[in-house]
Every structure is written in structure tokens, then in C-alpha cells.
Amino acid sequence: MRSHIVFSLCLALAAAACRTPASERSFTLQGQVLSIDAPRKIVVVKHEDIKDFMPAMTMPYEVKEARLLEGLAPGDLITATLVVFSNGAHLTAIKKVGSAPLEQPPTAAASPSASSGFELLKPGETVPDGSFLDQGGRKRRFSDFKGAPVVMTFIYTRCPIATFCPLMDRHFAALQKTLKADPALKNARLVTISFDPVSDTPAVLTKHARSLDADLSRWTFLTGDRDDVDQFASRFGVSIARSLTDPRDITHNLRTAIIDADGKLVKAYTGNEWSPEQVLEDLRKLE
């Protein structure tokens, strides 16, 4: 939580102060490159335990600079420094130390429209059918939302940074108001997924929904198995790092996705700089 507090203080002071090493933590990561998305500066790495920080997993990571990806290919074994700051993380000092056959060649992943695994979804691709629990404790599949356009975001309710998860909640509350008032948008649905299923039980999500005045016929809150949520979220570029020493300390980024009535990704907003007006404009184009 300390990093969050540092970040909040930084907001109150000056942006430049955020670059102080005190708000950053660095870890050594060892793993294998599974895929590379150079234009987006993203590398998917299957990595080993990061001591005192996170267990072994496969995740997309942003790299600090695009040139760090030059000369890298799927299968490469690497070491790198994972720099975690309060609103995200990136890899730097990437070193190739060998290469090994990929367990599953990327081409064999799955059908072109609904690929499995951890590749980032591209616009036009079908969103994978994750399984979740809603705020009422009911089992829900993401495909249940087919037939209506969906605006979806990822949060955790304990997030202490006002400009992060709470801002997503406020934006969704604003969207809900317009969706209600505009008959052309009456079908659109809002979906908020928690990546902190341990704390965000259905009961907690119900309370949270109430605090936001959420109309549950239009706005659904989901939680589920932690690994399932992580895998689903990673397809949208969400990376979640939980401190092993303090599970309440979650470092994460933000993605907000627009999904059409056929269940295909239309676009994904990065970070917290999108506005409800932009999303409404995107939705109107879908009608």
C-alpha cells in the first residue's frame, strides 16, 4: 500500500516527484518470451517466481523502450528487471540468455477468431468466454452478455488511488446515467470485473454497487477464480501484481474495453484518460 500512498502524495505535489526511486521497486525476472507485440511495446513472458513479489505466471509486460524488443523472438530465454511503480510496471535491462522450444507454438493456439492463451486481443477478435460470479453469487459466462454492446473495466474495490479504480467507477456511474436517458443506447451494458476476488466477494460487490447507485439490470459486477480472472484480464492488457508479503498491496494498470453485441472487441482504452463522452461516442457508432 505504501507505493499507492506515495503516488497519491505525488499527485498532490508535482508530477516530477513521482519519478523518485522511493516510489519504484525493482525485481529480477527470469523466463521465456512467448510472443512480442512491438508496436505496443509488449512482450508476453512465461516467468518463474519473482522472489517476494509474485508467483510464476505468464503475463504481458510493457517494456520501457521499444528498442528493448529488437532481436528478441518467441522462445528466447531472458532475464530482465521488472520495475513496479504505483500505476503500472515495465521491463527494462532485457538480456537474452538462451532459447528453448515453445511448449505450444503460437500458430497452434486456436481458431483465428477466438484464440486462447495470453495473446492480446485485437479489435475484431472474439472475447474469450470467461466464467465468473456476479454480485448476487450467480455463475455467469461472459458470453451471457452477447446481444448487447458492453463497456467493461477492471478494478478492485479497495483501490486507494482516487484517479484509478474509483475513477473508473465514477465514469461508469456517469455512463449509466446517459444510457438510461438515451433510448438509442438502452441496450448497452456495463460490466465491472474485480481482480481481487479474495476481498471482492459477491457480498462486497453488492455493497459496492449500492454505494455507486448501480442499476443492476444494466451494470453487472463480476468476480471469480483468481487465475481465471487474471487470464481473462491479461487478454486485454491488464497486468496485476500482488505483493506476496502483503496481499492487500496490488499493483495494476487499467484497461476499459468496448465489446459489440456479437462479443467482439471494438477497442480497448489504456489507462485513466478516457472520458465517458468518448465511450458514448463509440457506443453510438455501434448502434
Pairing type for strands 250-252 and 240-242 reads antiparallel
- Concatenate the DSSP letters of all residues of 153-178 into one string: EEE-TT---TTSHHHHHHHHHHHHHH
User: Measured from the CB atom, is 176 or 192 closer to Cu ion?
Assistant: 192
Contact 197, 226 (CB under 8 A): yes
**CB closer to Cu ion out of 159 and 229:** 159
Least Å from the CB of residue 17 to Cu ion = 20
The three cell numbers of residue 133 are 460470479
Q: Select the residue whose beta carbon is closest to Cu ion and give its number.
A: 159
| CB 154 to Cu ion: min, Å | 9
Spatial CA neighbour of 134 closest among 205, 234, 211: 205
* Shortest reach from residue 8's CB to Cu ion, in Å: 12
Q: Pick between residue 159 and residue 241 the one whose CB is nearest to Cu ion.
A: 159
Among residues 105 and 247, whose Cβ is nearest to Cu ion? 247
With cell 451494458, the residue in question is: 189
Q: How far is the CB of 4 from Cu ion (least distance, A)?
A: 8
* Smallest separation, CB 230 to Cu ion (Å): 15
Give 121 or 159: the residue with its C-beta nearer to Cu ion: 159
Write the CA distances from 62 to 108, 236, 270, 275, integer angstroms: 24, 13, 12, 23
Q: Which residues bind Cu ion (CB under 5 A)?
A: 159, 164-165
Task: Please state the length of the chain.
Answer: 287
251 vs 4: CA distance, rounded Å = 8
